[in-house]
Amino acid sequence: MLNDNIEFTLYKNARILDPANSLDFLGCILIHKDTIHAVEKDLDKIKITKNTKIEDLNGLCVSPGLVDIRVQIGEPGEEHKESILSAVQSAVSGGITSLVCLPNTNPVLDDQATVEFVKRRADSHNMARVFTYGAATKGLRGKELAEIGLLSESGALAFTDGIKAISDARIMHKVLSYASTFNLLVVQHPEEESLSNGGVMNTGEMATRLGLPGIPREAEIIMLERDLRLVEMTDSRYHAAHISTSESVEIITKAKKKGLKVTCDTSPFYFKLNELAVGDYRTFSKLSPPLRNEDDRKAIVEGLRNGIIDVIASDHSPQDQESKRIPFSQAAFGGSGLETLLATSLDLYHNGDLSLLDILSKITINPSKLMKLDSGTLNIGAPADLIIFDPNKSWRIVGDNFISKSKNTPFDGMPSQGRVVKTIINGEIVFNSMDKK
């Protein structure tokens, strides 16, 4: 906590990175209580008073805090997998200052009371800002529209059936039509269940060799093609979550060229790994959608590079050990992603695929704009939600060391580069890696 007499905090000799304003320079940033007061190249332009705390960052990077738009939290109902407290602690350790959680809790986030409960619980922890999606259909059953208007009034940012696709075309048409009336965003997990049901990994040679039932790429492709026809009919806002195939990138490219209100995200799982990560039945790499082939992985990287893929999200899907340390066909889908979002995204920078600003745009300002939040920038007067990080810090990802209750990461044991030093929310330091030493 800051001393009561301290009104300003100055971070100098910092590499200022703000993709919202295309800023990348060595300079300083001044925080006044809970807001950003000044960002300058020249320290002489900053008025320093006796109530200013000064910290020399010696070239470390300062950027807006990360905004993660696809997070599963077990609370309410499955706190043994992830509570709101463990989720926000995990998030800030990974540099995430705002997160949006999916509605697939127990009970489902399909009424005002449950949405407001999650908000109150998150606010009580005074860490990462937690926002919610509202369920698109009651109980996530895909049969009847949820109270979308009331949920929006309660603070739900967008509407989705979470890890389930809205399979019924008539219901999806109703959801999109209603959402379009109020300019609300609909988020879809694009997967044709009749094709994917019973599958456990990507259809192909690897699945055949392992003797495992496959999930064909076409399950994602067909659902996307159907949905975008409905989007065109309804003039609605649509977001495709965690796309994983080359054809998905092509479909969304065509939709954007047509002028449809379409956006999409992917996860580091799909640009860093391919189906070979399943190896000899490695359940930590059992994900939904499944890890695809190498050509698909490369296409996802290209989609990020050319701007077709708007956002990188962690796709944090916590599972307990009992759900993962069992035979592959019986294991739960999902991987932990909060604490590795920055580092795995920075792989694109270290590999020369994207610039540092381009990567940061996909985990700060782009998701913030999509969800209509006031975060994701270093604008003067903006909330002082930012991170200090070392993009070159080498470390090894070890799931057992995660703050998250969930240790199931497909990146377990992998070397990585890029680490959060401090996370600051509303001007307060909520994570400091030096505290762990």
CA 240 – CA 129 distance, rounded (Å): 23
Q: Is a pLDDT exceeding 70 seen at residue 1? A: no
41 CB-side CA count, 13 A: 3
347 catalytic residue (yes or no) = no
The per-residue pLDDT for 87 is: 97
**Beta bridge partners of residue 30, listed in sequence order:** 10, 38
Question: In which region does residue 183 sit, left (phi positive, over 0), alpha (psi from -120 to 50) or beta (all else)?
Answer: left
Domain ranges, ordered by start, for the chain = 8-63+383-393+417-436, 65-370
Q: Is a pLDDT exceeding 90 seen at residue 5? A: no
CA 245 – CA 202 distance, rounded (Å): 11
Segment 40-94, tens digit of pLDDT: 999 989 888 889 999 999 999 999 999 999 999 999 999 999 999 999 999 999 9
Segment 125-163, tens digit of pLDDT: 989 999 999 999 999 999 999 999 999 999 999 999 999
How much of the chain is helix, strand and coil, in % rounded to 5? Answer: 35, 25, 40
Alpha-carbon dihedral sign for residues 85, 91, 92, 93: positive
How far apart, in Å, are the Cα atoms of 60 and each of 13, 55, 165, 321?
Answer: 8, 11, 42, 36
Q: Is a pLDDT exceeding 70 seen at residue 3? A: no
Segment 213-264, tens digit of pLDDT: 999 999 999 999 999 999 999 999 999 999 999 999 999 999 999 999 999 9
Segment 261-320, tens digit of pLDDT: 999 999 999 999 999 999 999 999 999 999 999 999 999 999 999 999 999 999 999 999
Look at residue 240 and give its three-state secondary structure: strand
Which CATH architecture describes the domain 65-370?
A: Alpha-Beta Barrel (3.20)
User: Predicted confidence band at 4 (pLDDT cuts at 50, 70, 90)?
Assistant: low
Q: Which of 18, 227, 315, 347 is catalytic?
A: 315
Domain 8-63+383-393+417-436 indexed as CATH 2.40.50.100: no
Burial (CB count within 10 angstroms: exposed 0-12, middle 13-18, buried 19+), residue 406: buried
Segment 349-394, tens digit of pLDDT: 999 999 999 999 999 999 999 999 999 999 999 999 999 999 999 9
